[in-house]
Structure 1
Amino acid sequence: MPEMTTTKDLILGDRLILNQPARGHRAGSDAVLVAAAVPIKPGEVLADFGAGVGSAGLAVLMRVPDAQGVLIEIDPDLAELAAINIAENGLNARVVTGDVASLGKDLEAGLTVDHIVSNPPYNAPGGRAPADEKTARARIAPEGMLEDWMRAAMRILSPGGTITFIHRPEAQAEILAALGNRFGGVVLRFVHGSADVPAIRVIVQARKARRAPLRVLPPLILNAGEGAFTPEAEALHRDLAALDMG
């Protein structure tokens, strides 16, 4: 297999260094937005499910550097880049190479975290898949993956801990089914490119061992027109702002 070509990029107002593949799946707004929604506090522990090069998890830790991170990634090449990114950004995290679905069993038995963040593969199988295997793995969710990941989340989350992830709005029924009775206090915040178009993403947050009813928050609008972010989106992408999830 040829050596992977990488680039060194800066996100979050040039604060976060990311070494990542030059081609295929790369860090973007999804990682920034889901990271901003995690309600983490100093001293708490975060897991990043399907971390890739660490973009979402490290964005959380850049905002709250006194927290700790565990980045879980199945692809050894991406896991190696995640470890490089941890070192270059001076953040308190470690990488675990393995399948998220095995967490708390064969992988990292005994691991307990306060929060989970994930920018998971969310395209359904079928249709034309990317030719590159790494890109396909990052974008296409195998059948049952989301439910497997929710089971893993239940095994490692402390009571009252949160899971926060980003997904396709049209997958809302699948998302709620995967959360099932395992989580409560589910909050949905839909993301729109502009105010007059349908949602392009949904940010989902839920808590272990809670029974509060589902809430849908006012939408997050990204673009104000003429290529400019709205003030809220600008603060999230450039200023390490937190995203209010109620």
Structure 2
Amino acid sequence: MNEHYFTREPASPHRPAEVVFEWRDVRLRLHTDRGMFSYRRIDPGTRLLATQFVPDGPGRVADLGAGYGALGLMLAARFPDLSMVMVEINQRAARLCRANAARNGLRAQVLVGDGLAALGPGSLDAVVTNPPVRAGRSVIYRWMQQAAQALRPGGTFWMVVRTRQGAASLARAVEARIGPVELMERGGGYRVFRARKSGPAP
């Protein structure tokens, strides 16, 4: 397992870097470092999900597996009315996520932990994730189950997966745990899915 997924404090030597994430009128400058996912560039799947996500309205959104903050901070910049929660087990990444939010003048709550277990039932309006497929399906299934608990009825779960890494089967797993799934976009070998939690919205 690559340590950038679930090592609380990576042992790899520091190699600070910076990436720029631009889309339309948003330009984020993000500090990165070794020991975390895609630290030299914005991952294409992250870019696709960040530019396709549309919230139902103001609400609380969690970026699950936030890394140094590319996905969640782009959403915070695009949709200032959202209350962003960034969840990341890697403490090096979480520190950078906090610093990147401040550097770009964005508000986000950063939580250090493995998944959404610390968040209360029905406390989220949406969850977004570029899940760590290489960590194994059991990790992703656990995240899906946690999202099903944390989402309010009618809330949405957004996920981007490489087509060749089992996107179709993961979409079926989301549907079984959360609710009906739609393919929202595809491109560059990735697919973006949205599931809506079964049950009436409050």
TM (norm. structure 2) is 0.81
Per the alignment, residue 182 of structure 1 pairs with 177
Structure 2, unmatched stretches of 5+, are 1-10
Shift, 1:94, TM fit: 1.0
1:94-243 paired onto structure 2 within 5 Å: 94-100=109-115, 103-104=116-117, 107-109=118-120, 112-122=123-133, 140-170=134-164, 171-189=166-184, 191-193=186-188, 200-209=189-198
Amino acid at match of 2:146: A
Who is 2:63 aligned against? Answer: 48
Verify the 8 A CA contact 1:18 1:53 in the aligned structure 2. Answer: yes
Letter in 2 for 1:19: H
What residue identity is the alignment partner of 2:114? D
Q: Distance in 2 between matches of 1:42 and 1:22?
A: 36
Residues 1:19 and 2:31 are matched in the alignment: yes
- 2:6 is matched with none
Structure 1 stretches of 4+ moved >6 Å: none
Instruction: Choose 1 or 2 for highest CA Rg.
Output: 1
Structure 1 counterpart SS, 2:179:
strand
Q: Distance in 2 between matches of 1:174 and 1:2?
A: 33
Cα distance change of structure 1 residues 33 and 210 upon mapping to structure 2, 3 Å threshold:
farther
- Determine if contact 2:122/2:152 at 8 Å carries over to the other structure: no
Identity, % of aligned pairs? Answer: 30
Could you say if the C-alpha distance between residues 177 and 86 of structure 1 is closer, same or farther in structure 2, counting changes exceeding 3 Å?
same
In 2, Cα distance between the equivalents of 1:204 and 1:150? Answer: 13
Q: Structure 1 stretches of 5 or more lacking a match? A: 123-139, 194-199, 212-246
Task: Look up the equivalent residue of 2:181 and give its one-letter code.
Answer: V
Deviation at 1:210, TM superposition (A): 5.6
Distance 1:62 1:25 in 2: 21
The 2-side partners of 1:111 and 1:46 are apart by 12
Q: 2:50 corresponds to which residue?
A: 35
Number of matched pairs: 184
The residue that corresponds to 2:7 in the other structure is none
Q: CA deviation at 1:116?
A: 0.9
1:146 to 1:57, Cα distance in 2 relative to 1, 3 A: same
Q: Report whether the alignment pairs 1:5 with 2:18.
A: no
Change (3 A) 1:42 1:121: same
Contact 2:66–2:86 (Cα < 8 Å) also in 1: yes
1:58 is aligned to 73
